[in-house]
Structure 1
Amino acid sequence: MFIIVGLGNPSKEYEGTRHNAGFEVIDRIADKYNISVDTKKHRALIGKGIIGGQKVILAKPQTFMNLSGESVRSLLDYYKVDEEQEFIVIYDDISLDNGQIRIRAKGSAGGHNGIKNIIAHLGGQVFPRVKVGVGEKPSKYDLADYVLGHFSKEEQVLMDEGYAHAVHAVEMILEGDISAAMNEYNRKKKEE
């Protein structure tokens, strides 16, 4: 069984914001595989289903971003999954261009408070993650205002493409091939 967690903030006011990229990817996986993510457990909205023969739990923590680790720890303990092998986190990254994705098998939080909290609760940095680029913060912008802001129409087109790539990357990881996912998506985009 795999637990796939998308990070974001609950409530309508945060829908479609940069910080909710993880929720967006979970919603797209749920739509594609007809999984209802509507059961409240472990301080998250969760849904159970099958992807490519693999049992999965999709989760959207409802603790708000900076406390995501509380929900993740509860999920991993309850379902007794191996965080290094059977757990994937999807979240926004301001160091990547809009819609660009990057896959890692482990690593630091890179300044992301949701990931910092997960690392603190798990006691380690070794877990697969799919980062979805939301664009670099313009100078003179407050970081919180930026990540809680919405995308322009042009940015949304790039994000929709990025969300589709993130869904595909998750499918590849579920097939047991994180290296192939990294090889496909971690390259720099070629200038056209």
Structure 2
Amino acid sequence: MKAAHDTLTSARLAVRRYTADDLDLLVRLHTDPEVTRFTGGLLTRDQSQAMLRSRILAYYDEHPGLGIWLTVERETGAPVGLHLLNHIRGSDLVQIGYLLYPQYWGRGYATEMGERLLRYGFEELGLPQISGITDLPHVDSQRVLLKIGLRRAGERQFPAYGPAPLAFFTRDAGSWLAEHAAR
């Protein structure tokens, strides 16, 4: 993932950088009320396009190795959503996250690629800590963060995500790698 053409894979999935040609896939995520229920609401096509330009494509060059990536099934190439390893907006903390199209929920995809991204972040990028945030009522996402090895560390406010406190999860590299060494 350090170059534009690189991909990162897990058993069933691959992530790759978004391109300008992937706008429709991003719009599809941002216009689905089920997907956006806990992400701040629906986005218009123009808002998705602005996000693609400023928060996704530009981010790759500003923060090598980090980003928001398109997630696809390895076997079929079907897009299943996105995974991210990027900075929490307005913070120095690096977060892990995911948004999947509803037809791919319940298959373990968020967990599978989430674990792979933690390993990538800790082992390949040398990140000292990775965090995750979710809306307090989003218990499904919180379960995923726990399954991949993050630990609940209370609630925190991040102004870029609104005034409500968010469930905050985090883990340092040493403890996560020690626990996941044999996998």
- What TM-score, normalized by structure 1, do the two folds share? 0.34
- What TM-score, normalized by structure 2, do the two folds share? 0.35
Structure with the larger RCO, 1 or 2 (CA within 8 Å, 6+ apart) = 1
Structure (1 or 2) with the greater strand fraction: 2
